[in-house]
Amino acid sequence: MKFLILAVLGLLTVLSAFPAAFATHSTPFNGNGTGTFTDTSPTTVLITGTGYYDHLGLTTLRFPSTITGPAACGGFTATEQDNYTGANGDSVYLTVHDTICPTSTLGAFQLNGSFTQPQWT
């Protein structure tokens, strides 16, 4: 038992001495864009536009979105399959889960979304 405790303490000492070697690195994906919504069916829209994003530069945006149900706020939920394509052909793909809620301004909505780990190509 004493040997097991010493082995665990030794392992913890080694791991704590090199935390950077075991940490994951996160690359920020920041930018902005503008575009338009086109209704493609009663439950789907296509969002297209352009923008400028870190690591991609000038970017073409294509976001097909499908309404998935009602939201507690009186709006709805949706899932997007986002594609950001840089001028050099590099792409980032995201699956985004949105909650779209009405605001006090007629016809204006607030969108909150969460996304999965980006896939770079």
| Angle value at C-alpha 57, between 46 and 34, nearest 5 degrees | 35
Q: What is the pLDDT of residues 32-78, one digit of tens each?
A: 888 888 889 999 999 899 999 888 999 999 999 999 999 999 999 99
Please answer whether residues 102 and 75 qualify as being in contact, where contact means their C-beta atoms are separated by less than 8 angstroms. Answer: yes
Q: Which residue has the higher pLDDT, 106 or 10?
A: 106
* pLDDT confidence bin for 120, thresholds 50/70/90: confident
Give the N- to C-terminal CA distance of the chain in Å, as an integer: 50
Q: Which residue has the higher pLDDT, 14 or 39?
A: 39
Q: How far apart are CA 10 and CA 4, in angstroms?
A: 10
CB atoms within 10 A of CB 59: 23
101 forms beta bridges with: 110
pLDDT at 87: 93
pLDDT at 54: 85
Per-domain boundaries in the chain = 33-120
Length of the chain equals 121
84 forms beta bridges with: 61, 92
